[in-house]
Amino acid sequence: MRWRRGRAGGPPPPPGSGNLIPLTAVPPGGAGVVRWIGGGRGQIRRIMEMGLTPGSPVTVVANSAGPVVVSSRGVTLAIGRGLASKIMVEVTG
Amino acid sequence: MSREILVALAGNPNVGKSTLFNALTGATAHVANWPGVTVELREGRTSHHGVEMRIVDLPGTYSIGGVTEEAERVAREFLISERPDVVVVLADATALERTMYLPLMVMEITPRVVVAVNMMDVAARRAIHVDLQGISAALGVPVVGISALRGEGIGALLDRVLAVAEGREGRKHPLRIDYDGLEPYISRIEKLLVKSGWKESIPARWAALRLLEGDPKVAEAAGRYSEEVKSEAERVRSEAGIDLRIPPDQVAVESRYRYIDRLLRGRVRRTRLLGSGLSEALDRVALHPLGGPIFSLGVMLGTFFLAFVANMGFPLNLILYLGGMPDLAEAVEELSLTGLLGGFFEWLGAEASAALSNSGAPGWLVSLVCDGVISGVGAVLSFLPLVLTVYLLLGALQDTGILARSAVSLHKFLRKFGLSGRSVFPAVVGFGCNVPAVMATRALDDDRERMIMAMTSPIIPCQARLVVMLALAGGVTRDPGGQALVMLAMYSLSVVLWLAVSALISRFMFRVRSAPELVMEIPPYHRPSLKVIWWYARTNTEHFLTKAGTLILGFTVALWFLLHFGPSGFVPQAALESDPSSVEGTFAAALGKALAPLGSLVGLPDWRMMLAFEAGFLAKEAVISILVTTTGAPDPAGALRALGMTPLQSLALTVAMMTYTPCVATLAAIKQELRYVKYVWRVVAYEIAMAILLAAAVYWGGVALGLS
């Protein structure tokens, strides 16, 4: 199945599916794999073009009051909390 | 024999594109207009093995697929309409997984591409190994490793550019990426296009993909062949979205990244993981929820303190006055760059006046040269060191990666006002000069945020207004401590106004319900490179000189005319100086008097004040010279006394001067960025309204409190 890597857009995965949590809930130092990206079409596209696609491994660098800072594909990205809450990751470590 | 080839330079932000551009073109770089994309781009020349190359610097973008993003539109349309002989696309050796995205997109439009993998030296230091030949073989285009900063590999890069231009190397056809699920839809539209006789300069397959992604420009082009194709393509597009349950443009992005993953598999090796101790420690402070904003504000305040002291002694002179060292304070003022340049132009004016008078030139000509041109040029040039230092320091902040952290740490705060953290860049630049601040808004992703910032960043007090403020504060109080307080209050007021007006425009003009979100790359900390900082400062300063310089010069001459001519003819400078009342016979006075009733509203009834406002519209620093010349006082504080200004009136004047309409150069920049004159009028209208309201509030409020 082509979308086993994850999905962008569409409805969010039902609660309790896998161990998916929003990016905003991953503590600093935590790592995971992006499984779902939600939000407006333009926003999804922007995030994906910055290199964060379903299936991308991410490490959270900072996650406090401001934007969530993650490291993925060799670059560090800052993502506003509103958008980050619509990114679901499968925690791996 | 000599011929010329056109080379376009494309790349992500932060991959060293400007550095490469400067290394290639050196002193030949200049800004040129490209009518096809209705925007100005930097270009320069170089020659290699006897072939002249014209190199155009495209805006830094992550993609060229965006429909609303201005920079992406410009880059895409340049490639399509100007058809460069070769496109050099930069990638970053330390982040190929992300930065190969743009080269792929460009290769889908044109096969004549050379990929320059920059920062090979940094990659080597971080133990990242890249198999350039393997990547080149897989892509079918030359891939060259370079270090733009150290100038390594530039010759080899130009060799490959020539080879591709002459057709000796590179692909014959655009790159074909496997778009998996999208493929059937792409070929359906492609067939339709070919059947309709597609003859555009862009490949039919790429056009088909763009139609699936919903590019209105390509749809328009397709519509020119046949309306049927256009509507059929639109039908296929919605069909694809329904069948795949995902918008086609997102499928395309994923497919490209999957292509990159396969391309780089086994060709990039990291032998040691990232994580330098210092940058992690720095980030613990810079990205801390509370420490981050404090750190950012501290760095910025420190930066401006340095810039201002070097240029005009302020605020070090005030601190020295307060510390009881007036002699030292005066020395600091005189030895500041602005003080030195001011002295020089005074001397030059006097010399030129003497020389011209001796050779028998008519009085008005002597006056035009000395009081108009030389003082006009002087006005521009005395700002040059200020602008240059601010850019040097800003360049350092940006090059090291500190400014990007400030954007992140201030994002949460700025969201409350309809802005995102990215607005920190133009705002900070605005403290130097509003013209480049307005131009810097171009880099903002969100269209509405871009417009808001272009309209509100002029509220931020530029350095010219700092000069005016310094002079006027002397009329409010003689006490240096009190003056410092006035200055601090004015800066705080401006920042509050900037935020408040941004919030109002966002809410009521654009009816934005949710503030712009932030997605931005945080570049790794760099050791500041003097070379890069110098280039940044030089480019921006040149821009300031050409844009603001020509305007200020032209308008200074116009102002000279208003001030020295009246219904009864020429009024010589000597008459103005010996008898200040002779200014009443000039056009300028007539204009000032016409506006005087407006001044009475805010407790500033004297027409000479209105004249100062007019002059400030042309260039803020002209306010001072107008007040001084029309009153015949030796200095600004004396001028305010001569006008009979009370401290309260001086304060109202200061507030009005700070907040009323931006100078013409800034308005020209707003027109250029927002394209419609209506936005310029709105800015002028709201700022003048704001100035009248605030100044009236200060004056009448003060009167009510029994102050004077």
pLDDT, tens digit (0-9, with 9 covering 90-100), for B372-422: 778 777 766 766 777 788 788 888 888 788 888 899 999 999 999 999 998
pLDDT band at B454 (very low <50, low <70, confident <90, very high): very high
pLDDT band at A21 (very low <50, low <70, confident <90, very high): very high
Q: Answer positive or negative: Cα dihedral of B437, B443, B447, B448.
A: negative
- A7: in domain: no
- Top CATH class, B4-165: alpha beta
Q: How far is A91 from chain B (nearest CA, A)?
A: 20
Contact A67 B412 (CB under 8 A): yes
Q: List CB contacts (< 8 A) between B414 and chain A.
A: none
The pair of three-digit structure tokens given for residue B378, joined into one six-digit string:
């002087």
Residues for chain A: how many in total? 93
Q: Where are the beta strands (DSSP E) in B108-154?
A: 113-118, 128-130, 143-145
Reported as a single tens digit per residue, the pLDDT across B7-46 is 999 999 888 898 899 889 887 777 666 655 556 788 899 9
Kindly report, as residue ranges, where domains of CATH 1.10.287.1770 are found in chain B. 180-270
List all residues of chain B from 298 to 337 with a beta carbon under 8 Å from chain A: none
How many of the other CB atoms lie within 10 Å of CB of B534? 15
Reply yes or no on whether the pLDDT at B84 is more than 80.
yes
From residue A42, give the alpha-carbon distance in Å to each of A9, B69, B228, B519, B630.
11, 10, 28, 12, 57
Rounded mean pLDDT of A40-66?
86
Reply yes or no on whether the pLDDT at B550 is more than 80.
no
From residue B450, give the alpha-carbon distance in Å to each of A62, B32, B315, B501.
27, 23, 33, 14
Q: Are B456 and B426 in contact (CB under 8 A)?
A: no
In angstroms, the CA B556 to CA B614 distance is: 12
- A5: in domain: no
pLDDT of residue B577: 66
Rounded mean pLDDT of B232-238?
90
pLDDT band at B542 (very low <50, low <70, confident <90, very high): confident
In angstroms, the CA B604 to CA B342 distance is: 29
Q: Are B565 and B571 in contact (CB under 8 A)?
A: yes
pLDDT of residue B52: 93
First vs last Cα of chain A: how many Å apart? 26
Percent pLDDT > 70 in chain B is 94
Q: List CB contacts (< 8 A) between B253 and chain A.
A: 45, 48-49, 53
Mapping DSSP onto H, E and C, the string for B98-119 reads HHCHHHHHHHHHCCCEEEEEEC
From residue B600, give the alpha-carbon distance in Å to each of A22, B200, B596.
60, 64, 7
For residue B138, which amino acid is it?
Answer: A
List all residues of chain B from 405 to 464 with a beta carbon under 8 Å from chain A: 407-409, 411-412, 415, 420-421, 445
Q: List CB contacts (< 8 A) between B257 and chain A.
A: 48, 51, 53, 56
Q: Residue A50: give its domain's CATH number.
A: 2.30.30.90
From residue B259, give the alpha-carbon distance in Å to each of B89, B164, B255, B256.
17, 24, 6, 5
In angstroms, the CA B646 to CA B652 distance is: 10
pLDDT of residue B85: 95
Reported as a single tens digit per residue, the pLDDT across B194-214 is 888 888 778 889 999 999 988
Rounded mean pLDDT of B72-81?
88
In angstroms, the CA B376 to CA B556 distance is: 5
- A71: in domain: yes
- The chain-wide mean pLDDT, for chain B, equals 84
pLDDT of residue B139: 95
Q: Which of B56-60, B525-529, B675-679 has the lowest mean pLDDT?
A: B525-529
* Residue B1: Cβ-neighbour burial (10 angstroms; 0-12, 13-18, 19+): exposed
pLDDT of residue B380: 67
Reply yes or no on whether the pLDDT at B645 is more than 60.
yes
pLDDT of residue B274: 44
pLDDT of residue A1: 30
pLDDT of residue A2: 36
pLDDT band at B452 (very low <50, low <70, confident <90, very high): very high
Q: List CB contacts (< 8 A) between A41 and chain B.
A: 247, 249-250
Compute and round to an integer the Cα radius of gyration of chain A.
Answer: 12
Contact B96 A79 (CB under 8 A): no
How many domains, chain A?
1
pLDDT band at B142 (very low <50, low <70, confident <90, very high): very high
List all residues of chain B from 494 to 553 with a beta carbon under 8 Å from chain A: 514, 517-524
pLDDT of residue B373: 79
| Closest C-alpha among A6, A44, A88 to residue B249 | A44
pLDDT of residue B403: 86
- A9: in domain: no
First vs last Cα of chain B: how many Å apart? 79
B525: nearest CA partner in chain A:
A76
Q: Are A87 and A38 in contact (CB under 8 A)?
A: yes
pLDDT of residue B312: 65
From residue B153, give the alpha-carbon distance in Å to each of B23, B47, B48, B88, B144.
11, 16, 14, 14, 7
Q: For A82, which of B94, B421, B517 is closest by C-beta distance?
A: B517
ipTM of the complex as predicted: 0.83
pLDDT of residue B435: 83
- A2: in domain: no
Q: Which domain holds residue A19?
A: 15-91
- Top CATH class, B180-270: mainly alpha
Q: List CB contacts (< 8 A) between B178 and chain A.
A: none
In this complex, how many residue pairs, one in chain A and one in chain B, have their CB atoms less than 8 Å apart?
120
Cβ of B288 under 8 Å from any chain A Cβ? yes
CA B519 to chain centre: 20
List all residues of chain B from 645 to 664 with a beta carbon under 8 Å from chain A: none
Instruction: Name residues whose C-beta falls within 8 Å of residue A42's C-beta, 6 or more positions apart in sequence.
Output: B68
Q: How far is B95 from chain A (nearest CA, A)?
A: 5
pLDDT band at A86 (very low <50, low <70, confident <90, very high): very high
| Closest C-alpha among B137, B144, B94 to residue B114 | B144
For residue B108, which amino acid is it?
Answer: E
The pair of three-digit structure tokens given for residue B430, joined into one six-digit string:
């605005």
Reply yes or no on whether the pLDDT at B548 is more than 70.
no
pLDDT of residue B1: 42
Instruction: Name residues whose C-beta falls within 8 Å of residue B439's C-beta, 6 or more positions apart in sequence.
Output: B543, B669, B672, B673
Question: In this structure, what DSSP letter does residue B401 have?
Answer: T
Rounded mean pLDDT of B328-353?
78
pLDDT of residue A3: 41
pLDDT of residue B30: 75
- A35: in domain: yes
Report strand pairing: A75-79 vs B519-522.
Answer: antiparallel
The most confident of A71-75, B156-160, B428-432, B597-601, by mean pLDDT: B156-160
**Which of A48, A49, A53, A68 best probes binding to B when mutated, by most B CB atoms within 10 angstroms?**
A49
